[in-house]
Structure formats: C-alpha cells, structure tokens
C-alpha cells in the first residue's frame, strides 16, 4: 500500500524530447530589468515555457519580483500575482485550494490548472521555510514550489542567506581586518530537507539553467505527478557572485562538475541522479577541484589556500561519507580500515 494518494487530474506534460522539440512560445518575455547574465530570469523563463498557458504564477518578493514586474512593465504572459517574502508555500496552497473548491462547487470550469509559486533562497530557505514545509505535507493539492537560489538576498543588494556558501563575501559578511570569514555556516541542504521530511510529497528535484532541457522536463514531471512538489534551482548571479555575465552558463556547469551542486530527482521516493552528477556517482567522471569554481568568482577573492582546502574537504566529505552524496548527510556505516584508536 503506497503512501502516495491519488489527486485531481493534472495536465499531462510529456518531457520535451530534445531542444528542437521545445516550443517557441515564451510565457516569460521581455520587459524585465534583470542583470546581464541573470540565471534566475533564465530559470523562470524555462519554468514558464515548460508549464504553458494554463498556469497561475505567484511570485514572492525577490529579485524576480522587482526586476521582472515594475509597473508599467511585466514579463508574464501568464496570470501572475505578487506575494510576501515568506509566503511562497502558503500562497501556492491558497491558490490550489481556491481552484479545487470552486471547481468542485461548479463555480469554475473544471480543468487542470498549473499552480506555480516561486521564491528566492531568502524567501524559501529562511523566512518561508515553514510555509513550504507545511504545504508539502498536504497530499492532494496540485502545485509546484520553485526555489531559485542565487545564494544571497539579491534584491536588497546581496546579503547572506541560509544557502549562501561558506565564507562568502556579501554586504552582511564582509571580510575585514580582524575577521576574514564572517559567514561560517555551510549551505543549507534545502532539497534534502524537503525530500526527507515529507514522505507523501511525490516530487523533489534539483536543477540548474545550464541544463536547460532537463530543467524544463523536471518542471513538467513535477507538474504532472500530482500533489505538492518542490524544485530547487541553483542560479549563478553575475552581480552577487562577481563574475563576467558571459560566464554564467559555464559557472553553472562548474558548480555541477565540482560536485558542489548535485543534480537529482526524487519521484515517489525513488532517487535518480542525472547529468554529470550521475557520472560522478558512478565513477565515470572525476570531480573538478572546487578551486576551479570558487576562484572564478570575486565573492571568494578573499579566500586563502586554507579556505579553499576547507571548502574542498567539505565537498569531499559529502561525496565520500554521506549515505546518499549530496542528498542525505547521514554517515555511511563504514567498515573501518583505520587502526583502532
């Protein structure tokens, strides 16, 4: 007997079988004021394209609010409404609840409508964590929450959040004469938290715009599977991370190829790594040194060799010692070959 319940029908969104099969229609179009090379905007463009026109989007306060939707302009070719910083999870739930009630009571034409709420890492991993978690416990409201993670509070001019990497330079974690590392916290494993903590949630996935086709297909799978779902996207940010905008795509690949950002999907409890992450896990690709990734970004320019080594050791630990690398940090029951203490 499954823990997963049947839900109202969702749209049947088949995966795109290749870049050339992706439709031309844009539902996130021009009219935004995002930075050159903004991967968060790229991500939302992919989400909108993957979802199609029978969709309602709710957007929490973030870069993707102010930069995309400053009156008179809007990027959205879909119905869109703003919500508060910590309300990504609750706004999605409210939207889905209204549609369900009104359709059941015959007040609205019955059809599967995609409900997508987006939030940044500030709004999702910090302020809105509780609301997202509560929403994922509801087994039968169809909705998708996407957390676009540029590892900072970007809209307010770059400050640390719970998903900011160790040691990063931001305006709230400034390297100084006495303290070089003001942010000594490791990145919160949000997707792991979501998939481990909500056993009836049918879909949790991690994506990155450098893998554009896979990102769209993850979104389509999440929207089709039924119930509340969650996608965490890593979004290189030229402004906050301090790199030339033309490198955004490459930085994304480096995040994956160093093993720092694992790509995976969990569908009804089954874990599937994909892309280079899968090759790393299967031993077919050797992880690049984290220095290749860190030292291309000005936000780590203050790092000493020790800092880079520490960062490397954490990533190594994740890949060597976690029960499921990148996903669950419980230590493996290792048969120790070390001499007894």
Interface residues toward other proteins, by CB under 8 A: 53-56, 58, 65-66, 69-71, 73-74, 76-84, 86-87, 89-95, 97-102, 104-105, 107-108, 113, 130-131, 133-134, 138
Tokens linked to 302: 């203050």
Tokens linked to 44: 């939302």
Tokens linked to 169: 């330079």
Least CB distance to other proteins at residue 103 (A): 11
CA distance 44 to 46: 5
CA distance 275 to 138: 31
Least CB distance to other proteins at residue 144 (A): 15
Residue 103 or 288: the one with the smaller Cβ distance to other proteins is 103
Peptide bond into 72 cis (omega under 30): yes
Least CB distance to other proteins at residue 220 (A): 17
Residue 106 or 283: the one with the smaller Cβ distance to other proteins is 106
Which helix or strand (DSSP H or E) is residue 97 part of? helix 88-104
Give burial (CB, 10 Å; 0-12/13-18/19+) of 7: middle
**DSSP-derived pairing of the beta strands 264-267 and 270-273:** antiparallel
Least CB distance to other proteins at residue 229 (A): 18
Residue 102 or 295: the one with the smaller Cβ distance to other proteins is 102
Residue 97 or 288: the one with the smaller Cβ distance to other proteins is 97
For residue 91, report the phi and psi dihedrals to the nearest 5 degrees.
Answer: -70, -40
Residue 46 or 129: the one with the smaller Cβ distance to other proteins is 129
Least CB distance to other proteins at residue 270 (A): 28
């Amino acid at each position: 007997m499954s823990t997963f319940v049947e839900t109202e029908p969702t749209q049947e969104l088949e995966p795109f079988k290749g870049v050339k099969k992706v439709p031309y229609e844009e539902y996130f179009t021009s009219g935004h004021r995002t930075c050159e090379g903004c991967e968060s905007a790229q991500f939302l463009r992919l989400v909108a394209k993957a979802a199609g026109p029978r969709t309602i989007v709710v957007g929490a306060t973030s870069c993707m609010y102010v930069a995309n939707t400053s009156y008179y302009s809007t990027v959205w070719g879909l119905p869109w409404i703003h919500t508060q910083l910590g309300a990504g999870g609750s706004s999605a739930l409210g939207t889905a609840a209204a549609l369900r009630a009104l359709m059941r009571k015959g007040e609205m034409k019955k059809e599967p409508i995609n409900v997508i709420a987006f939030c940044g890492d500030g709004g999702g991993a910090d302020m809105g964590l509780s609301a997202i978690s509560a929403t994922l416990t509801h087994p039968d409201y169809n909705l998708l929450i996407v957390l676009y993670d540029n590892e900072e509070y970007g809209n307010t001019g770059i400050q640390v959040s719970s998903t900011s990497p160790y040691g990063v330079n931001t305006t709230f974690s400034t390297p100084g004469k006495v303290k070089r590392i003001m942010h000594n916290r490791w990145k919160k494993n949000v997707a792991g938290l979501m998939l481990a903590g909500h056993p009836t949630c049918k879909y949790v996935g991690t994506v990155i715009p450098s893998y554009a086709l896979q990102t769209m297909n993850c979104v389509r799978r999440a929207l089709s599977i039924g119930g509340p779902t969650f996608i965490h996207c890593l979004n290189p940010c030229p402004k906050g991370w301090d790199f030339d905008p033309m490198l955004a795509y490459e930085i994304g690949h480096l995040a994956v190829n160093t093993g720092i950002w694992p790509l995976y999907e969990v569908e009804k409890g089954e874990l599937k790594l994909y892309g280079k992450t899968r090759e790393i896990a299967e031993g077919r690709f050797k992880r690049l040194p984290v220095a290749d990734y860190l030292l291309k970004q000005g936000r780590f320019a203050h790092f000493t060799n020790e800092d880079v080594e520490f960062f490397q050791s954490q990533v190594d630990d994740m890949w060597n010692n976690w029960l499921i690398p990148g996903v669950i940090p419980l230590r493996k029951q290792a048969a120790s070959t070390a001499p007894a203490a």
